[in-house]
Amino acid sequence: QQHRRNPSSGLTGSQQARLSSLARDLACMNGLLLKDNPASSSSGSAAPDRCMMAPITLVPSSFSKEAFNQAVELQALFNSLYHRVSRDHNFLCRVIPPAAESDSFLSALWDMYQTVRQSGADQPITLALNRADYMLDEEAGLKQVEINLMASSFGGLAQRLSTVHRQVMSAAGVSERQLAHRLPDNRPAETFGEAFIQAFKLYGRPEAAILFVVSPDERNIFDQRTLEAEIYAADASSDSPVHVPQILRRSFDQIASSARLEESSGRLYLADQEVAIVYYRHGYSPDHFSDPAGVAWSAKLLMERSRAIKCPSLAYMLANTKAVQAALCEPGAVARYLPGKSAKVEATFVDQCVLSDSRAHRWLLADPEDFVLKPQREGGGNNIYGRDVVDFASRLTTRQSAAYILMRRIRPQQQVSLMLKADQRLSRRPEMPLCVSAISELGIYGALVAKNNSERLNCSAGHVLRTKSAFTDEGGVATGFSCIDTVYLV
Ligand code: ADP
Ligand code: MG
Ligand code: MG
């Protein structure tokens, strides 16, 4: 039974100190870093090269091999499911408008989707870089938290963390044979890079560039840089390299001042450079569009009207909403898209519905502590939990409550986690990891490249674990709640 132990248990104090020092060095050496937060520096603007170690766990966390494999196998089905949902205009017409009615951000996206659709702009090629998130419920097994079809992050850092964790475990005395067995191969950024190149080739303009739409003050930049490097590497090692000329990084502001749409061809240009793929790592939240002049919205509209491949498209952004997630839980909904294969997917769903549904009222009467309330938002920090739910819900009109979903809470098993955070100087023993009773959320990456309905690539692409204290409700590495982690299969 020794192997069933969590790798963090059984390490003596001196082992923990020695391995922490190694892990911190390896983390920095491998680029497991975040840019400094400008707001936290005394001058208010951080030097451009100031970084800190990303929050990581010292060693991987144990995770059921069976459940992990189940999630990996499901990924291609989830990729197909959401691809088909995004192409089902009637379904989106049924689900989105009620949720958008009292949500100005979703309503702006919905309007833009319709405008672009009516303009006849069409790009048959899809590049989807997804991440399906799960928790392993103590009683019910693998359960879906949500799926991300936009700006799915940490694939680059997770890939690097797998390298670090392997070395730390080896230094802890675990044999190579055990490691090969327990630590799955993990290369999300590499697989995403290959998907990029495949989509780029389908676009068919070798001189065009790839555009990353980024936040002007991005902290998780090395995750994105890893992906850039993997795009170039995937090209170089492909059968017929196209020598991708450039990967541009631009904010909405910069795009607004230099982008141009050639109306006759629908091609998108930045200055004189044609853009083949617009990859959004920004623009998933209303505060990314908060400039009063609406510059970000017009930059987005211009890109959406072009024939550049968008990752994700507006239809994908709409499919990514919690409203769609809840609608897919209705009986028969998944089966319409995945005939004969829906049961495995549905087995990961927990009870959820729109808050205006009568079921929600009954559930809240029975046990409010057992539910999470979610608005149509991304990026963490938006949900309402436990006792606050009833209070919050009671202040909403029926129309407003259609913009929220109520979801049954998943209760994962706790395990001891040893965490390394950048700034532990204030802790009593800064050389030691923080010992935390923690729960983990598994993210499985997936890539899909398609032309219309025809899938050219559809695969799972590795994993990340995000581990947080069992006593905080929300997750999020960027928000400071969670550590990046990987699985130790048991
Ligand atoms: P976002 O798109 O903002 O990441 P999520 O649905 O992932 O929204 O919710 C954010 C966090 O809230 C998750 O990472 C998880 O920690 C917690 N959470 C969400 N849904 C549940 C649930 N049903 N049970 C337990 N925790 C949940
Ligand atoms: Mg999300
Ligand atoms: Mg999430």
CA of 125 to the centre of ligand 2 (A): 23
Which range, of 37-46, 196-205, 233-242, averages the lowest pLDDT?
37-46
Q: Is 444 annotated as a binding residue?
A: no
Which residues are within 8 A (CB) of 294 and not within 5 positions of it... i.e. 6 or more apart?
none
Strand 384-385 and strand 371-375: pairing?
antiparallel
**Residues recognised as catalytic:** 131, 146, 148, 153, 322, 374, 378-379, 466
CA of 378 to the centre of ligand 1 (A): 10
Q: Is 474 annotated as a binding residue?
A: yes
Q: Give the domains, in start order, of the chain with CATH numbers.
A: 13-42+50-350+410-489 (no CATH), 351-409 (3.30.1490.50)
Q: Which pLDDT score is estimated for 429? A: 86
ipTM of the complex in this document: 0.99
Ligand 1 lining (C-beta closer than 6 Å): 133, 145-146, 350, 372, 374, 377-380, 382-383, 407, 409-410, 441, 474-475
| Rounded CA separation 275/277 (Å) | 6
Which of 139, 142, 146 maximizes ligand 1 atoms within 8 Å of its Cβ, making it the mutation to test the pocket? Answer: 146
Which atom of ligand 1 sits closest to the CA of residue 410? 24
Which ligand has its closest atom nearest to the C-alpha of 372?
A: 1
Which ligand has its closest atom nearest to the C-alpha of 374?
A: 1
Pair 31, 161: CB distance under 8 Å: no
Which atom of ligand 1 sits closest to the CA of residue 374? 6
Residue 480 has pLDDT above 80, yes or no: no
CA of 168 to the centre of ligand 2 (A): 30
Q: Which pLDDT score is estimated for 3? A: 39
Q: Is 143 annotated as a binding residue?
A: no
Q: Which pLDDT score is estimated for 478? A: 65
Question: Taking the model in full, what pTM does it have?
Answer: 0.96
Side-chain-facing half-sphere of 182: CA atoms under 13 Å? 25
Pair 53, 86: CB distance under 8 Å: no
pLDDT in tens, 33-80: 999 876 665 555 667 789 999 999 999 999 999 999 999 999 999 999
pLDDT in tens, 319-339: 999 999 999 999 999 999 999
CA of 289 to the centre of ligand 1 (A): 23
Q: Which pLDDT score is estimated for 4? A: 45
| Mean pLDDT to the nearest integer, 434-439 | 93
Q: Is 451 annotated as a binding residue?
A: no
Looking up tokens 């999020």 gives 476
| Rounded CA separation 354/272 (Å) | 46
Residue 23 has pLDDT above 80, yes or no: yes
